[in-house]
Amino acid sequence: MYSDTHFHFHMLENQPQVLTGMAEKNCFFGLDIGTHCDDLASRQKGMLEAIGECENSLREKIKNFIYFSAGIWPAPEAIRDRVNQMEILEKEIKQALDSGDSFIKKVCAIGECGLDHHWNPAGVDARCESDFDAELYNGEKEMFLMQLALAKKYSLPVIVHSRDAFDGTIECIKDAGYDNGIIHCYSYGLEEAKVFLDRGWYLAFGGGVTYTKKAKMDAMIEMLKYIPEDRLLLETDAPYLAPVPFRGTSNTPLLIEHSYRFIAEARGIEVEKLCQTVDKNIRQLFSKSL
At 134-165, the pLDDT tens digits run: 999 999 999 999 999 999 999 999 999 999 99
Measured CA to CA in angstroms, residue 265 lies from 24, 190, 209, 246, 270 at distances of: 24, 19, 12, 18, 7
pLDDT over 80 at 1, yes or no: no
Q: What predicted TM-score, i.e. pTM, was given to this entire model?
A: 0.97
At 58-73, the pLDDT tens digits run: 999 999 999 999 999 9
Strands 30-32 and 202-205: unpaired
Asked if 209 and 262 touch (Cβ cutoff 8 Å), the reply is yes
Asked if 252 and 238 touch (Cβ cutoff 8 Å), the reply is yes
User: Which residues, at least 6 apart from 162, have a Cβ–Cβ distance to it below 8 Å?
Assistant: 114, 115, 116, 169, 183, 184, 187, 188
Asked if 62 and 22 touch (Cβ cutoff 8 Å), the reply is yes
Domain extents for the chain?
Answer: 4-285
Asked if 158 and 178 touch (Cβ cutoff 8 Å), the reply is yes
- Provide the CATH topology of domain 4-285: TIM Barrel (3.20.20)
Q: Which of 214, 208, 212, 203 is nearest to 259 (CA)?
A: 208
Sign, CA torsion 203/228/25/285: negative
User: Which residues, at least 6 apart from 76, have a Cβ–Cβ distance to it below 8 Å?
Assistant: 127, 131, 132, 136
Strands 232-234 and 107-116: unpaired
At 199-254, the pLDDT tens digits run: 999 999 999 999 999 999 999 999 999 999 999 999 999 999 999 999 999 999 99
